[in-house]
Chains A and B, each alone.
Chain A
Amino acid sequence: MSVAALPSEGAGRAGLRLSLILLLAPALLWLGLLIILPHIQLLALSLKVKLGPRLYETGLTNYTEFFAESIYWSTLIRTAFISIAATALTLLIAFPVAYYIAKMIRGRRKNLLFVLALLPFWVSELIRTLGWIIILRETGLISLGLQWLGLIDQPVELLGNDAAILVGLVYTSMLFMVVPLVTVLDSLDDTLVEAGYDLGGNGFAVLREIIIPHAMPGIVAGCIIVFMLTLGNILTPALLGGKNSLWFTDQIFQKFIVRFNWEQGAAFGFLLLIVSSLVVWIGLKITRQSLASTMT
């Protein structure tokens, strides 16, 4: 009987392999066609140097130009620093919110608050950013409110500066920080916190020695997501920062669309990728986390 069963077993294994390939196919196609292939093409494009119409040679000129022109590299550094600041600010604001949702309340109110944190994301980012414009502009809510209170005697413009960009970026990123933090804090056993107090710890010691080490994978995951989203954001800095925004994605956009210099744009795209990977790598080293541990 077992002998008779062998051929069909072999056929079953082949069928299993086929279904595995079919199951993986969408993910592999997505990775290959939409991520790996375009990046290879961009890399090739970025190494092309335009000599004249339809005349190219291979070289690093597109990259050396970036370092030669201070406006380019200073914009990239500025973009990275504001993104790091926005990420840190988002973490500072989101942590208490997430702790409150995960630990301080129970049942229906917990779900309600979670949905409330989610609700702004049902509206598109464009509309949300326009909302901030309405609040921050010269004839906006804050300006009018301060005048009405008599604290200022003429309209004040709050748009077009780094603070406005930060406000918009933090607001846009909140959810992506709150969700991983709530998840990781939910899994923190309450008795660990109680034991922390019982053994003589005050609130600060419990936070530093027990809650934060436990939440570290969620903190790192949230920070990576928020940093990447912020660094790659183009809408919020453009709308809230105005002409002064000097955001690196905006320069990439300019190269591709306005100047039609795809070679230079591709090189800038790669530089952004390198900087963001570098910052994430340094962040993981500092917090002694691995990418794998933050994703589980």
Chain B
Amino acid sequence: MSPAPDLDIRGLVKRFGRFTAVEDVTFTVPEGSFFSILGPSGCGKTTLMRMIAGFSRPDSGDILIKGNSTIGLPPNRVAANMVFQHLALFPTMSVAENIGYGLRRRGHSKSEIAERVERMLERVDLAGSGPKQINQLSGGQKQRVAIARCLVLEPALLLLDEPLGALDLKLREQMKVELKQLQAKLGTTFVYITHDQSEALVMSDQVAVMNAGRFEQIGTPQDLYYRPLTAFVAGFVGNSNRWRGTVSAVGAQTRYAAEGGFELIGQAVSGLSVGQPVDLFLRPEAITLSRGTDPEAAAANALVGNVQSLLFDGGNSMAIVAPDRGGGSITVALPQTGDLADLTPGEPVRLSWSAEQVTGFAAASAA
């Protein structure tokens, strides 16, 4: 039998009055992995995290850390430690006292605490910062102290509640890389919750996308990006052109009539029938853009149009193209090679993309 996973959640439910915050969530996190829970604010991810940490009790279901149920245990006896959104470093203590807090609670000797704190500070590249006060640290250093304060206790599991949310953009990008490297170096299991898809995609081994209290999909970042299983995941992870439409033909390929008035050809999808309303997704970066006025013959999907506007943003530059036939607009990523850097609004362009790039999901009946 394989060893118990670090975290095993079974059928977890949490209700607040009539509102169900977490609905039947089940997942496991293997030892030493970086697991993210990604979802918009209010989706229940913080409630889920607080149940794992022991701050609130689930209405039903079970939480097992290293095979032992934590239901009913107070937070100070749960073998998981938490890095809070605003870090919650103790401002009345020095860096070393912050990190030593948990060890003091366990009754270790003073010399042992000092030694373990110093070793932990070295591991997070803060050697010698022990006597500093918290307000003398930079944002990134505070982050590392908050993580060190948990890791010095050698928890089975480290929970991180959007710890990068309060940082500015540059530092956030840097901390993303740093956190991933730190996790790889230490080998501790991280469970990370965030509403920022880029944080989840960059750092995680596995990502669970959460919406309205449920897990929509659990998979690798690549799975979520290239093979979304639901319309929510397709819309939430990465950028997409999104249309409503209906299925016009099924077979080797599926044809869709999009609301804008143009036709999209996608791969065969089982379970769709002609006339069924669908949500269609097409990623801006999956579209080939070139100058010209006649459509590309070889591609499954091809159309011509005019550049409506250009959104220059360095590596994330986009062009909004108005197709000649049909209404609406399509957002297209500009190639990174700089070939089309001199594109101007009003220029005729042609767009093409393959059938694999078009994703269609049966529209929710309520919509």
Interface, chain A (partner B; CB < 8 A)? 189, 191-192, 194-202, 205, 209-210, 213-214, 216
Contacts of A210 in B (CB 8 A): 90, 92
- Given A199-B149, A200-B153, A194 and B88 contact (CB-CB distance below 8 Å): yes
Say what secondary structure dominates the interface of chain A: helix
| A214–B134 alpha-carbon span in the complex (Å) | 14
- Given A194-B55, A201-B101, A189 and B86 contact (CB-CB distance below 8 Å): yes
Q: Which 4 A-B pairs have the closest CB atoms?
A: A213-B92, A195-B88, A199-B102, A200-B105
Minimum CB–CB distance for B147 against chain A, Å: 12
Question: Contact: B105 with A195, CB < 8 Å?
Answer: no
Residue in contact with B106 in the complex, picked from A195, A197, A200, A209, CB distance below 8 Å: A200
Question: Contact: B90 with A202, CB < 8 Å?
Answer: no
- Given A209-B90, A209-B101, A210-B92, A195 and B76 contact (CB-CB distance below 8 Å): no
Contacts of B93 in A (CB 8 A): 209, 213
B358 is an interface residue with CB less than 8 A from chain A: no
Closest B-chain residue to A209, C-beta based? B101
Question: Contact: B84 with A194, CB < 8 Å?
Answer: yes
B150 is an interface residue with CB less than 8 A from chain A: yes
B260 is an interface residue with CB less than 8 A from chain A: no
- Given A189-B88, A194-B88, A214-B92, A199 and B74 contact (CB-CB distance below 8 Å): no
Contacts of B85 in A (CB 8 A): 191
Question: Contact: B84 with A191, CB < 8 Å?
Answer: yes
| A194–B321 alpha-carbon span in the complex (Å) | 51
Question: Contact: A198 with B81, CB < 8 Å?
Answer: yes
Question: Contact: A199 with B92, CB < 8 Å?
Answer: no
| A189–B75 alpha-carbon span in the complex (Å) | 18
Q: Jot down 30 A-B pairs with beta carbons below 8 A, ordered by A.
A: A189-B88, A191-B84, A191-B85, A191-B86, A192-B88, A194-B75, A194-B82, A194-B84, A194-B88, A195-B84, A195-B88, A196-B90, A197-B75, A197-B76, A198-B55, A198-B75, A199-B101, A199-B105, A199-B150, A200-B76, A200-B77, A200-B106, A201-B76, A201-B101, A209-B90, A209-B93, A209-B104, A210-B90, A213-B93, A214-B92
Contacts of B77 in A (CB 8 A): 200
Question: Contact: B76 with A191, CB < 8 Å?
Answer: no
Minimum CB–CB distance for B73 against chain A, Å: 11
Contacts of B201 in A (CB 8 A): none
| A191–B55 alpha-carbon span in the complex (Å) | 11
B37 is an interface residue with CB less than 8 A from chain A: no
Question: Contact: B76 with A198, CB < 8 Å?
Answer: yes
Contacts of A213 in B (CB 8 A): 90, 92-93
B53 is an interface residue with CB less than 8 A from chain A: yes
Minimum CB–CB distance for B37 against chain A, Å: 18
| A202–B104 alpha-carbon span in the complex (Å) | 12
Question: Contact: B153 with A199, CB < 8 Å?
Answer: yes
Residue in contact with B88 in the complex, picked from A191, A202, A205, A216, CB distance below 8 Å: A191
The interface size of chain B toward A, counting residues with CB under 8 Å, comes to 26
- Given A191-B86, A209-B90, A197 and B153 contact (CB-CB distance below 8 Å): no
Minimum CB–CB distance for A184 against chain B, Å: 12
| Contact flags B316-355 to A (C-beta < 8 A → 1, else 0) | 0000000000000000000000000000000000000000
Minimum CB–CB distance for B115 against chain A, Å: 19
| A192–B101 alpha-carbon span in the complex (Å) | 12
| A205–B107 alpha-carbon span in the complex (Å) | 12
Contacts of A191 in B (CB 8 A): 84-86, 88
Minimum CB–CB distance for B275 against chain A, Å: 53
| A201–B81 alpha-carbon span in the complex (Å) | 12
Question: Contact: A200 with B102, CB < 8 Å?
Answer: yes
Contacts of B82 in A (CB 8 A): 194-195, 198
Minimum CB–CB distance for B150 against chain A, Å: 7
Contacts of A214 in B (CB 8 A): 91-92
Contacts of A201 in B (CB 8 A): 76, 101-102, 105
Minimum CB–CB distance for A18 against chain B, Å: 40
Contacts of B102 in A (CB 8 A): 199-201
| A272–B237 alpha-carbon span in the complex (Å) | 73
Minimum CB–CB distance for B193 against chain A, Å: 15
| A189–B85 alpha-carbon span in the complex (Å) | 12
Contacts of A196 in B (CB 8 A): 90, 101
Minimum CB–CB distance for A196 against chain B, Å: 8
Contacts of B88 in A (CB 8 A): 189, 191-192, 194-195
Minimum CB–CB distance for A182 against chain B, Å: 19
Minimum CB–CB distance for B110 against chain A, Å: 15
For chain B, residues 89 to 147, give those with C-beta under 8 angstroms from any C-beta of chain A. 90-93, 101-102, 104-106
| A187–B90 alpha-carbon span in the complex (Å) | 13
Minimum CB–CB distance for B166 against chain A, Å: 12
Contacts of B54 in A (CB 8 A): 198
Minimum CB–CB distance for A80 against chain B, Å: 30
Contacts of B55 in A (CB 8 A): 194, 198
Minimum CB–CB distance for A210 against chain B, Å: 6
Residue in contact with B90 in the complex, picked from A192, A198, A216, CB distance below 8 Å: A192
In this complex, the member of A189, A191, A197, A209 whose beta carbon has the largest number of chain B beta carbons within 10 angstroms is A197
Question: A198-B53, A199-B150 provided; 16 other pairs, C-beta below 8 A?
Answer: A189-B86, A191-B88, A192-B90, A194-B75, A194-B88, A195-B82, A195-B88, A197-B74, A198-B78, A198-B82, A199-B105, A199-B149, A200-B153, A201-B102, A209-B90, A216-B92
Question: Contact: A195 with B90, CB < 8 Å?
Answer: yes
Contacts of A198 in B (CB 8 A): 53-55, 75-76, 78, 81-82
Closest B-chain residue to A190, C-beta based? B88
| A205–B103 alpha-carbon span in the complex (Å) | 12
Contacts of A200 in B (CB 8 A): 76-77, 102, 105-106, 153
